[in-house]
Structure 1
Amino acid sequence: MNSVPPSGRAALRRHDREILGLALPAFGALVAEPLFLMADSAIVGHLGTAQLAGLGVASALLQTCVNVFVFLAYATTAAVARRLGAGDRSAALRQGVDGIWLALLLGLLVVAVALPTAPALLDAFGASATAAPYGTTYLRVSALGIPAMLIVLAATGVLRGLQDTRTPLYVAVGGFVLNGVLNLLLVYPAGLGIAGSAWGTVIAQWTMAAVYLTVVVRGARRHGAPLRPDLAGIRASGRAGVPLLIRTLSLRAVMMIATAVAARLGDADVAAHQITLTLWSLLAFALDAIAIAGQAIIGRYLGAEDEAGARAVCRRMVQWGVGSGVVLGALVLLVRPLFMPLFTTDQAVIDQLTPVLLVVAVTQPVAGAVFVLDGVLMGAGDGTYLAGAMLVTLAVFAPVALLVPTLGGGLTALWWTVAGLMMTTRLITLALRARSGRWAVPGAVRA
């Protein structure tokens, strides 16, 4: 006999509809974004190995620049959703406009640094003498699209805060198609080579930014929100993003340490590690989609001063996260024999990869809970705690990971520290905060 009363079942169904309605389009947008790089790589790869190598290093630099500023999306989502929940759409849009102005300013600053230092950056990241000229060309042209990329991040946060994840999906898919067409035309018929690939991406990025700005500006005008820069609002957006920046840098440090340790283990180990990271990233897109839904929904509930509703949807989302992790883990186990041959036929790499994928599979439920709780606390604007929790996680992870080669451990041991120790530490810190209830601060603005 079902112990959940009819009213409770109705609430669960309502939460499920909200979660799925936001998470599914968010997943599509997240998957569409890395397709930009895949399209560039596929097209540039036919120009030659040196061009592809230059693209690889330059694109890694660009992705690092953009990922560091992902707080533009996260912090904006939470702030906009709170004001929406409070019933003040004009203030929500004004907050979003402040975030977009901050993104533009940061983007221009990055361009000013990247253009003159491009050759030195390529050299620091290990580009060879043959690849460096191509990488420098690609980086200098592509840097002109960084302001657009950051505007897209902030504007995506605005729309997510307004409970709209469909528009970002449409824009991402349209941008991917435009990028592919422009790359093909500019690289080959126009004869621009790797510069054509960069220009195609820049044009696609600015087109996406223009679409987002059109949507946000129309909404702002409709609801009487000012569009001019507000220094106080921009500073507030920046302050809200600092803790999330610390969190992001700490998380990237974890992955960089893991890659550095894998490189010390041997060629087969680092090759298997890179393949595992590819799969890990794909799984993260699915789980992050639920987290994005959490950011938007939790912020709205707290803005409406519905603490009970926020706690209830938090519990339901954790169930979704764990359940999704179970499903994803099972899929990894099922497709493992088919997945590995797609990347390598080297038996030494496959031997390293087989047990590592098992580790990834069995830890997915933990990862699911971590992603969801991370999104819940972001939606609540609890960035300071998230920054501290990630620093604790880094302090726990780093010495253990660095000891793996010294203690004779291999790649499987390293991935137990990544998927096991690191994610479990994050789960403990996030779950303790979630259970305390101190994250659920009601109001249009987090006090």
Structure 2
Amino acid sequence: MDGGGHHPLRVFFRDARLAFRWDELGQEIIGIAGPGALALMADPVASLVDTAFIGHIGPKELAAVGISIAVFNQVSRIAIFPLVGVTTSFVAEEDAMSKERDRDNINEDNEYKVSDNEMEKLISPEEASATTSKSSFELDSSEVNSEHKRKHIPSVSTALLLGGALGLLETLLLVLSAKPILGYMGVMTDSTMLKPALQYLVLRSLGAPAVLLSLAMQGVFRGLKDTKTPLYATVAGDATNIVLDPIFMFLFKYGVRGAAIAHVISQYFIASILLWRLRLHVDLLPPSLKHLQFGRFLKKGFLLLARVIAATCCVTLSASMAARLGSTPMAAFQICLQIWLASSLLADGLAFAGQAILASAFARKDHQKAIATASRILQLALVLGLLLSLVLAIGLRIGSRIFTNDQDVLQLVKIGIPVLVAIVSIIFIMTLASYGGFVGIWIALAVYMSLRVFAGFWRIGTAQGPWSFLRS
């Protein structure tokens, strides 16, 4: 079916009967989205592990750590999503263009070999044999060297430098401003939550360089359509965190500090694995400083940054309003938020798969594949969203005791489940939190997410911005 001449919204229904077809495109999407989503969930899952252990210390500690995790995650998101998103697109585009150049070079070599064969007819058999032997030796040597040749992708070096620098800046910001930030979040100087929240946030912030650097490398791997390597690394890191949490928290009696220390160690472990693997495939250092692409990253990442800042402000304000309601509502909010964030990243796996495939398709000017990919991703995302809503609505009622035994917290968790699907606008948060308390915050989250969905449909329907190819 040709995309031209049809309304852009038809992209949702294009070949809908093939949405679950296990064809080449389906395998490519799931091959990237599955491991990619699980890898992206590493930090939220690690936060869930911390939440589960800390929840059995007490609701005050759980609430305190919840605020600290909300601060850390939202500050990180400002840098992570523009950096990872831009990196994935740039690497996929440059890798596709590099492969096209390699194919052109191979074709030229083949044409050259044909000419050589014609020349062999003009020389003696002895000379031809010697020449053939020499050519075979040179070919074998070049093939051996090419197998171990690392790719040169300029955006990789830029992404790693930006990830490391932004991580250091985040560490400095959180260490130096932890107390006033927590005050803004509703944890006042006379609050019993201040001490554990401050301890956890300061120690957790030491892992920011590793978090941003590892996520930048995950963006590189996704651009190369390799999501298994980040998955293996994050599974190893999460396993390390699970083992170290009870050791530092209960055996060494560090409490919430132990959870933060275990988390930081696991993040540096993940970053080390990814860096070791990445250096085998890609040149990590640019030939010269002029090959760095800071201007390109800033230009393309600006709109993403604006969107992420808006969403970050909404989620951060939500946590702040929950904290002002007291330690019990904040503890319940922390459980709901972390489960929602972890589960929602499954949809981000689909987004990154679409991003990598679309970038490669556009680099090759293959608009038909771009349209087919967009249709399949949107259809799969709709089904996944419905399934996640059902699983969360049922599963959290049964499994919430994993995180706490406090009956008041458990009751609020059950109340929050039906609207566990959204982010929120600042106006709705402040209004509904004032009149509806804990439930009002989650209703506001759902309202804002609905507005984001409407805006997305509007852009697709009018074929604006990145959807302009639907009218081509």
Q: Percent identity?
A: 26
Q: Could you say if the C-alpha distance between residues 53 and 287 of structure 1 is closer, same or farther in structure 2, counting changes exceeding 3 Å?
A: closer
Given the two structures, how large is their TM-score scaled by the length of structure 1?
A: 0.73
Amino acid in structure 2 at the alignment position of 1:293: A
Residues 113/435 of structure 1: CA separation in 2 closer, same or farther (3 Å cut): closer
Q: Secondary structure at the match of 1:433?
A: coil
Q: Which runs of 5+ in 1 are unaligned?
A: 361-366, 368-392, 443-447
Note the 1:425-440 alignment, pairs <5 A.
425-433=455-463, 437-438=467-468
Change (3 A) 1:197 1:316: closer
Tell me by how many angstroms 1:299 deviates. Answer: 1.1
Aligned 8 A contact 2:63 2:330 in 1? no
Q: Whole-Å Cα distance in 2 between the matches of residues 195 and 407 of structure 1? A: 36
Q: Residue 87 of structure 1: SS of its match in structure 2?
A: helix
Whether 1:213 aligns to 2:224 is no
How far apart are the structure 2 equivalents of 1:400 and 1:274?
Answer: 20
Structure 1 residues 414, 300: CA separation in 2 closer, same or farther (over 3 Å shift)? same
Q: In structure 2, do the counterparts of structure 1 residues 326 and 435 end up closer, same or farther at CA, with 3 Å as the change threshold?
A: farther
Query: Deviation of residue 285 (structure 1)?
Result: 2.2
Residue 405 of structure 1 and its aligned partner are, at CA, apart by: 8.0
**Residues 252, 407 of structure 1: CA spacing in aligned structure 2 closer, same or farther, 3 A cutoff?**
same
Match 1:290 to one of 326, 329, 350: 350
Which of 61, 66, 71 is the aligned partner of 2:71?
Answer: 61
The structure with more radius of gyration = 2
> Any conservation in 2 of the 1:93–1:225 contact (CA below 8 Å)?
no
Distance 2:192 2:350 in 1: 43
CA displacement, residues 252-296 of structure 1 (integer Å, 9 cap, x when unaligned): 234456667889999999998777655643542222221111111
C-alpha contact 2:393 2:418 (8 A) present in aligned 1: no
- 1:16 and 2:46 correspond: no
State which of 337, 341, 344 in structure 2 corresponds to 1:281: 341
Amino acid at match of 1:168: P
Cα separation, 2, equivalents of 1:336 and 1:314 = 32
| C-alpha distance in 2 between matches for 1:184 and 1:336 | 23
CA displacement at 1:440 relative to structure 2: 7.9
Offset at residue 107 of structure 1 (A): 1.5
Does 2:363 match 1:303?
yes
CA-based RMSD of the aligned residues comes to 4.2
Distance in 1 (CA, whole Å) between partners of 2:452 and 2:325 is 20
What is the Cα deviation at residue 59 of structure 1? 2.2
Q: 1:119 to 1:327 in 2, by over 3 A?
A: closer
TM-score by length of structure 2 reads: 0.70
The C-alpha deviation readout for 1:38-62, integer Å capped at 9, x for no partner, is 2223444555665444433322221
- Three-state SS of the structure 1 residue aligned to 2:225 is coil
**One-letter amino acid of the counterpart of residue 23, structure 1:** A
| Aligned-residue offset at 1:28 | 1.9
* SS of the residue 2:264 aligns to: helix
Q: 1:266 to 1:24 in 2, by over 3 A?
A: same
Q: Which moved more, 1:16-25 or 1:240-249?
A: 240-249
| 1:273-330 Cα shifts (integer Å, max 9, x gaps) | 7776556435422222211111111111112222221122112222222233344445
CA–CA distance in structure 1, aligned partners of residues 460 and 242 of structure 2: 40
Could you tell me which amino acid in structure 1 is paired with residue 90 of structure 2?
A
Gap regions ≥5 residues in structure 2: 1-13, 103-149
User: Is the Cα–Cα contact under 8 Å of residues 80 and 92 in structure 1 kept in the other structure?
Assistant: no
Q: C-alpha displacement at 1:355, in angstroms?
A: 5.9
Asked if the contact 1:77–1:157 (Cα under 8 Å) also holds between the matched residues in 2, the reply is yes
Among candidates 146, 168, 189, match of residue 208 of structure 2: 146
* Letter paired with 2:450: G
Residue in 1 that maps onto 2:242: 180
Aligned length: 400
Structure 1 segment 1-400 matched on structure 2, within 5 A: 13-45=23-55, 51-70=61-80, 71-87=82-98, 93-127=153-187, 129-221=191-283, 226=286, 232-256=292-316, 277=337, 280-331=340-391, 338=398, 356=419
Partner of 2:136: none
Of 297-306 and 128-137, deviating more is 128-137
CA distance in structure 2 between the partners assigned to 1:334 and 1:274 by the alignment: 18
CA contact (8 A) 1:262 1:273 kept: yes
- Cα 1:225–1:337 shift into 2, 3 Å: closer
